Amino acid sequence: MSESHPPLRSYGRMKSRPIKPRQAALMNTLLPQIRAPIEPFDPRTLKPDAAEVWLEIGFGGGEHMAAQAARSPEVLILGAEPFLNGVASAVRHVDEQQLSNVRIHDGDVRALLERLPDACLARVFILFPDPWPKARHNKRRLVQPEVIAELARVLKIGGALRFASDWADYIDWTLERFLKSPHFAWPAERADDWRTPPADHITTRYEEKRLGDCAPVFLDLLRK
């Protein structure tokens, strides 16, 4: 990252509770083997036979990322998560399922995006990110114009981006900002297109808690 950039800041707790001993051991042994490079890189060099490269932003405990990786072994999945407990949980999933097609960035996704080449991703998932519901905290939300611009850069033409949330204001916020971008389209035609979980969606424990103020909404956007 250029020295002209302000330092990245991920809001919230970096660790909420002690990491279990087995997960802590995997953080020391497995994570270094599957950590995304810290320099600019082409994801296909990590898995030369990958049919596609996907990215999950804020993978939480890693259940969705691991399940998608197990379901699509021909795909390389990059995952970004700044919170240590989530990373520890994800590394455990990778170990238990013996996944060879996952690479993890344990930090702010904006640093990872800067290291990726243009048009390298076929899919992006942003599932139930922190809504920062208070108006004075909205600036902390992940979905901001500069992040959308970076996502447009790294997504291939025709690439898909799925955003899901159970906070009505964040859904409106996200749709408004993506549709202001000339690079994204929302092809939904009927309510079921956003109210019904997509066929390939994998429900996580966080989603099941229903902590938001509305039923989950799924926005499937396309890179124009």
Other CB atoms closer than 10 Å to residue 168's CB: what's the count? Answer: 15
From 1, 34, 162, select the one nearest 101 (Cα to Cα). Answer: 34
How far is residue 165's CA from residue 205's CA, in Å, rounded to a whole number?
14
Other CB atoms closer than 10 Å to residue 99's CB: what's the count? Answer: 19
Catalytic residue list: 130
From 185, 177, 46, select the one nearest 120 (Cα to Cα). Answer: 46
How far is residue 141's CA from residue 148's CA, in Å, rounded to a whole number?
12
Other CB atoms closer than 10 Å to residue 22's CB: what's the count? Answer: 12
